[in-house]
A and B are shown apart, each in its own frame.
Chain A
Amino acid sequence: MMKYFNANKVNFIIMSVFFLVIGIFVIAAAERYYAYKETLQNLRFQKTQLLALQQDLDMTTNSIEQIKKEQERFKEILFEERDVPAFLDGISGSAQKSLVYIMEMKTQQFNQVPVPKSISDSNMRPGQASQGAQNQAGYNSRDEQAKLSDMLTLASMPIHFKIHGTFNAIVNFLGSIENYRQLLTVSNVEISTDQNYPQLICEFTMDIYSLKKFRDI
C-alpha cells in the first residue's frame, strides 16, 4: 500500500472522511435543531392564537353571563306568571280599601311589548315615542329571528278595568296601583259620569310586565 500512497495522502483521505462524517453529524444535529425550532415557533404561534381565541370566548361568555345577570335583576321588578292571581287579589284588596267597586276586570294573554321604530332607531323623542307606539308596522325587523330562539323579551298582559267610585276613591285607587313594587302601566284612562253622581265610572287598561321567551308568547 505504501508504494502507492504516502502517509500524507492517506491521512488526507482519513481526515476528509473524518470531517465529512463530522459534517454529516453536525448537519443532522443542525437539521433536527432547526426542525425543533420551527415546530416550537409554530407551537408558540398556535398557543398565542389559542389564548386569544380563549380570551375572546371568555369575554363573550362573560358578556352573556353579564346580560343574564342583568336580565335576572330586571326580572325582579317584573311579574312572574304565578304572581298574577295574587296580584289580582291584591288589586281587589286595594279597591276595597279605596272604596272603589270593580265592575269589570278582563285579562288578556301576554303579548310582546312593541317597540316603536322611533325608539329602535335611537332617535327617540318623547313626543314621537307615544306616536310610534301606535305604529305596529315599525317593530324591530329582527323580532322574527329572535322568536325562534330561547331569548327573553318583555311581554305585557293588558288587564281592562271598569271601576265605580267617587273621584277621590278612583284617584286613591290609581295611586295605590302606581305604588306597586312591580312594573305596571296604566293607560287609556276614561272617567265618565252616570246618574249616580258623585259616583263615577272609570275605565282604564293596566299592563303588567313579565320576561317571556319568544316561543311562549
Chain B
Amino acid sequence: MKAYLAIEVTDHKLRYVVIEKSEKMVHATRAGVSNLTLDPSAQGALTACVRDIIAKENLDIARIFLTVNCRDTVIHQLTFAKMSKADLDVLVHGEIEKIPAFAEKAFDSIYREQESENPAKSKVIFAAMSDKLLQYIINEVQQTRIPCHELEIAPLNLTGLLTSADLTNSIQSFIVLNEHATNLVVFENGQIKYLYTTNTGTDGMYPFNSVGQKQGITLGWAEELKRVLKSYSLENKKSIDKIWLLWDKEAAPKFDVYLQEQGNFSVKALDLSQEWVTEPINPINLLPIVPAVYYFNKIQPAFSLKQFFNTFEFNDLITKSLLVSALILAIVGVISGGMILRFSLLEHSAFVQLKDTQKKIAILQEKSPEIIDLKNQYDESRQQLLFQATYVKLLNRMSWSEVLSEVASELPEELSLTSFKVDDSGEVTFTGEAFTMGSIAHLLRQVNSSVILKNGKFNYLSEEVVKNKKVFRFGILADLRLDDQS
C-alpha cells in the first residue's frame, strides 16, 4: 500500500507524518522531526531532507502534502468598512505590505471575507507568503518527483475540520503553539470568528523544566492569551466554552497540566481521532495532516491555496502544452511533409510525363502534315489510277477478234470491203465495192441490226464502170455499240 507524506516546514525543523488512507480517515503510521534550517538560498537542502526521510523510513510515497509554518508566512485578521472587491484587493495588498516581513518583497496572498456581526464592516482573514520562500519550497518538493499539489499555511484551514459534535456545540477556541509564534483562533461551527497571533512561540519557552525567565515568559504568554479571550468574550458577549491546544506533546508532555497548575489556564489537547484521524496523535502533528484530510475527503478548504501553485502549474501546463503541441506538430509535420513530398514527387513525375507527352505530340504534329500530305498524295494517286484504269477498261471492253468475226459474218457475199477502220472513239468506217445497190442497202440494214454496230449511215456512194460492168463504191459510217457491252 502506498503511503503519503505530510510535512510541515518551520524555520528550523521539518515535521513529518507518514500516513495511509483509511476510508475517510487518516492513519498516521509514523511521525518524526528532521532538523532543517529554512533558507531559500540553500538549494537542494529541503529536497535532500525529504529524500533522507523517505530513505530512512523506507517509504514508497504516492503524494506529499505540504504545510508551511514559519516567519515568512502570515495569517491575520482585519476589519474594514464595507467596500468593493477591487478596493478590498488593493487594501488587503497594502495591509500585507505594511507587515515588516513583506515590505518591498514579492509575495503571494489570499484573503476571505468572513461573516460579520456588523453589516457595515468587512472582516477579512488573509494569509501571505513571500514569493521567494514559496518558489523555494515548491521547487524543492517538486525536485523529489513526487506529486505535491496541496499546500497549507498553518493553521488556516484547521478550523474547517473541527466539525465533530463536541466541537460545534458552542463557541470554542484553539491555540497553536508554533516555534516562532502562537495562533489563537476562536471558532464556531467550523468558521473562524476571531484570529489572534502573538510572536511568542516555543523558541522562547522550552525547555519547560527550567525555571526563572523562561517560566515567566510562558506564564506571560498564557496571561496574554487569557486576556485576549476575555476581551473577545466581553466584546462579543459570548463566552468561550473550551480552549484546545496544539503543541508538541512529545517535547513537553505535561505542558497542558503545567498551564493549568501554574498559569490557571485550562486547555485541552486537540484530538481529531473521532472524525478524521484513526487514533490520537501528537496534537502538533495535526497541522501537517490537515491538507491530507481535505484531499482524501475531497473537501474544498475555505482558504484554498491552489493559486500558490499557479505559477508552477502554469509553467508545467505551458511546458506540457508546448511539448504536446510540439509532438502533435511534429507528427502532423511528418505526415504533412510526407504528403507534400509524395505529392511533389508524383507531380514531378506527372510533369516529366507531361513534358514527354507534349514532346511526342509536338513530334507527331510536326510529322502528321507530312504523313497527311503523303496520304493525300497516295489518295490522289489512287484516284488518278482509278480514273485511268476506268478509262483503260472502257478502251478495252471490246474484243477485236469478236468484232471482226461479227463483221465478217454479217457482210453480204455480193459485196467486198476495201477497208475497215475503227478509231479510238469507236467510229467505224466501212469502204468497199458492190455490184448492186441492194447489197449496199443490205449491209446498211445489217449494220443497224448488228449486236456490235449501230447508227449506220452512208458516208459516200459513187458509181463507176469497170470492164463494162457497173461498180458502186461506197463508204458507210457506224458506231460501235459500246453502251450495250459495258
- Contact of B460 with A by CB under 8 A: no
Question: A193–B416 Cα gap in the complex (Å)?
Answer: 10
Which residues of B have CB within 8 Å of A61?
Answer: 371, 375
Question: A143–B385 Cα gap in the complex (Å)?
Answer: 11
Given contacts A29-B336, A32-B343, A46-B361, contact A151 B381 (CB under 8 A): yes
- Interface hit among B157-165, B182-190, B421-429: B421-429
The listed residue (A11, A131, A142, A183) touching B317 by CB distance below 8 A is A11
Residues of chain A from 153 to 189 with CB closer than 8 A to chain B in the complex: 153-154, 156, 167, 170-172, 174-175, 178, 183-189
Question: A130–B397 Cα gap in the complex (Å)?
Answer: 11
The listed residue (A14, A39, A116, A190) touching B322 by CB distance below 8 A is A14
- Interface hit among A47-55, A79-87, A89-97, A100-108: A47-55
How far, in Å, is B391 (CB) from chain A's closest CB? 6
Given contacts A39-B354, A133-B391, A142-B380, contact A188 B385 (CB under 8 A): no
Show 11 residue pairs from A and B whose CB-CB distance is below 8 angstroms, ordered by the A residue: A2-B310, A25-B329, A29-B340, A29-B343, A32-B340, A46-B354, A119-B387, A120-B387, A140-B384, A183-B392, A187-B424
Which residues of A have CB within 8 Å of B417?
Answer: 191, 193
B347 near A35 with CB under 8 A, answer yes
A126 near B483 with CB under 8 A, answer yes
How far, in Å, is B428 (CB) from chain A's closest CB? 9
- Contact of A215 with B by CB under 8 A: no
- Contact of B37 with A by CB under 8 A: no
B residues apposed to A, CB below 8 Å: 310-311, 313-314, 317-318, 321-322, 325, 328-329, 332-333, 336-337, 339-340, 343-344, 346-347, 350-351, 353-354, 357-358, 360-361, 364-365, 367-368, 371-372, 374-375, 377-382, 384-385, 387-392, 394-397, 399-401, 404-405, 408, 416-426, 482-483, 486
How far, in Å, is B323 (CB) from chain A's closest CB? 11
Which residues of A have CB within 8 Å of B358?
Answer: 46
- Contact of A136 with B by CB under 8 A: no
Given contacts A29-B340, A171-B405, contact A140 B385 (CB under 8 A): no
Q: Count of A residues near B, CB < 8 Å?
A: 89
Known: A133-B395, A133-B425, A187-B422. 13 other contacts (CB 8 A): A11-B317, A35-B343, A35-B347, A42-B354, A57-B367, A64-B375, A115-B388, A124-B390, A127-B482, A146-B380, A151-B377, A151-B378, A152-B381
A32 near B313 with CB under 8 A, answer no
A140 near B387 with CB under 8 A, answer yes
Given contacts A61-B371, A146-B381, contact A32 B421 (CB under 8 A): no
How far, in Å, is A61 (CB) from chain B's closest CB? 6
How far, in Å, is B205 (CB) from chain A's closest CB? 40
Question: A159–B435 Cα gap in the complex (Å)?
Answer: 38
Which residues of B have CB within 8 Å of A130?
Answer: 394-395, 424-426, 482
A36 near B424 with CB under 8 A, answer no
The listed residue (A22, A57, A64) touching B378 by CB distance below 8 A is A64
A39 near B482 with CB under 8 A, answer no
Q: CB-nearest residue of chain B relative to A26?
A: B336
B329 near A22 with CB under 8 A, answer yes
- Contact of A28 with B by CB under 8 A: yes
- Contact of A137 with B by CB under 8 A: no
